[in-house]
């Protein structure tokens, strides 16, 4: 694999998505781009990378970048954040008249926002007059198309989804399962790059941004978290993945009483760092 072509692709990937791949990840690029090369008429990944550098076609570049994103997800991933969310919904909903707004940033193929929508159906009766608006975003068009269709294989619905929820919220479509309309219509989908300004998405009470920051360097994580903080209401929440944290990255959020749940740092709730200063 030619070093200038490979370096160019790694730089392009980082500038367009924030994803950092060090020079040792040539094998990963090779594996992930093999099918893009095949479907785009290239005999080898080397030939694809050479054209991406010297004669880029946007559709092919986008497919190559898409192929480099890790889309692994499952229903009710890690379970604990969903237990915390159930309690948070009840706390937030008690004194609420309008909707609660939640953003699933980097939603992949939709299992996360649909898990949230299913959970909401279980608590909604406790909160009369309150509704939930779920905004789900991702960079990958392919993921968003699958998410929006809400059709999952037998393997996918076996991952994290209790059988009662499968029976209640899905219907069979051939060999696959489609999530029912009432859950599907609870989610609004948008293509959104976390490197961009999210102000047009509006303000949120809760943001799920899980298992994506791990692919970025610290300065990119900081910038993304601070932009997210700008969209979170005072007293709003951020939920990160099990191996992610705000500690040592930004003071815009601080750890809440439960692991994995962060609170926006506001004027009335100064950053822990400043409190101890
Ligand atoms: C591993 S999935 C996480 C899905 C889900 N949040 C979860 O925890 O199960 C990571 C997602 O981040 C998306 N992604 C990567 N870089 C992104 C960026 N710069 N902006 C928006 N989404 C991005 C990928 O397309 C992928 O769907």
pLDDT in tens, 54-67: 999 999 999 999 99
Same domain, 145 and 37: no
Atom of ligand 1 nearest to the CA of 72: 1
Pocket mutation for ligand 1, best pick of 64, 70, 108 (most atoms within 8 Å of C-beta) = 108
Domain stop point among 18, 42, 68: 68
CA atoms of 143 and 137, how far apart (whole Å):
10
Same domain, 128 and 221: yes
Report residue 78: phi and psi, to 5°.
70, -5
Distance 105 CA to ligand 1 centre (A): 7
Pocket mutation for ligand 1, best pick of 62, 63, 69, 197 (most atoms within 8 Å of C-beta) = 69
Instruction: Answer whether residue 259 is part of any domain.
Output: yes
Q: What is the pLDDT of residue 22?
A: 84
Instruction: Answer whether residue 248 is part of any domain.
Output: yes
Same domain, 61 and 85: no
Same domain, 148 and 219: yes
Same domain, 192 and 241: yes
Domain stop point among 68, 98, 116: 68
pLDDT in tens, 108-134: 999 999 999 999 999 999 999 999 999
Instruction: Answer whether residue 95 is part of any domain.
Output: yes
Q: 69: closest CA among 19, 109, 123?
A: 19
Domain stop point among 22, 47, 68: 68
Same domain, 177 and 46: no
Quickly state the pLDDT bin for 260 (edges 50, 70, 90).
confident
Query: For the chain, how far is it from start to end, CA to CA, in angstroms?
Result: 52
User: How crowded is the C-beta side of 75, counted as CA atoms within 13 Å?
Assistant: 24
Mean per-residue pLDDT over the chain, rounded: 93
Q: Which residue has the least CA distance to atom 3 on ligand 1?
A: 211
Instruction: Answer whether residue 170 is part of any domain.
Output: yes
Distance 18 CA to ligand 1 centre (A): 11
Instruction: Answer whether residue 220 is part of any domain.
Output: yes
For range 228-254, the mean pLDDT: 95
Contact 140, 146 (CB under 8 A): no
Atom of ligand 1 nearest to the CA of 77: 9
Quickly state the pLDDT bin for 3 (edges 50, 70, 90).
confident
Distance 94 CA to ligand 1 centre (A): 32
Structural domain range at position 124:
80-276
Q: Which residue has the least CA distance to atom 12 on ligand 1?
A: 106
Distance 212 CA to ligand 1 centre (A): 5
CATH of the domain at 155: 3.40.50.150
Which residues does residue 92 pair with via DSSP β-bridges, in sequence order? none
Distance 70 CA to ligand 1 centre (A): 7
Same domain, 50 and 109: no
Same domain, 49 and 86: no
Same domain, 189 and 56: no
Instruction: Answer whether residue 73 is part of any domain.
Output: no
Same domain, 60 and 104: no
Same domain, 35 and 156: no
Ligand 1 binding site (Cβ under 6 Å of any ligand atom)? 17-19, 69-73, 77, 106-108, 112, 138-140, 143, 193-195, 210-212, 241
Looking at the structure of the chain, the number of domains it has is: 2
pLDDT in tens, 213-233: 999 999 999 999 999 999 999
Same domain, 269 and 164: yes
Instruction: Answer whether residue 32 is part of any domain.
Output: yes
Instruction: Answer whether residue 132 is part of any domain.
Output: yes
């Amino acid at each position: 694999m030619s070093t200038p072509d490979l370096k160019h692709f790694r730089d392009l990937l980082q500038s367009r998505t924030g994803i950092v791949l060090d020079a040792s990840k040539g094998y990963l690029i090779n594996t992930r781009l093999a099918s893009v090369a095949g479907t785009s008429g290239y005999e080898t990944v080397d030939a694809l990378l050479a054209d991406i550098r010297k004669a880029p076609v946007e559709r092919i570049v986008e497919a190559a970048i898409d192929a480099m994103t890790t889309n692994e997800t499952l229903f009710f991933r890690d379970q604990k954040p969903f237990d915390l969310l159930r309690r948070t919904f009840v706390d937030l909903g008690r004194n609420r008249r309008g909707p609660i707004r939640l953003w699933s940033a980097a939603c992949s193929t939709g299992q996360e926002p649909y898990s949230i929508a299913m959970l909401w159906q279980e608590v909604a009766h406790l909160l009369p007059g309150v509704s939930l608006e779920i905004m789900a975003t991702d960079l990958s068009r392919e993921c968003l198309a699958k998410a929006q269709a809400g059709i999952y294989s037998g393997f996918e619905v076996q991952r994290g989804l209790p059988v009662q929820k499968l029976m209640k919220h899905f219907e069979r479509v051939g060999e696959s399962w489609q999530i029912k309309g009432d859950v599907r219509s609870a989610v609004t989908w948008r293509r959104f790059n976390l490197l961009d300004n999210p102000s047009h998405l509006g303000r949120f009470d809760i943001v799920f941004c899980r298992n994506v920051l791990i692919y970025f360097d610290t300065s990119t994580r900081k910038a993304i978290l601070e932009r997210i903080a700008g969209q979170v209401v005072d007293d709003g929440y951020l939920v990160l993945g099990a191996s992610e944290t705000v500690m040592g990255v930004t003071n815009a959020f601080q750890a809440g009483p439960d692991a994995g749940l962060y609170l926006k740092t506001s004027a009335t709730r100064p950053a822990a760092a400043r409190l101890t200063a």
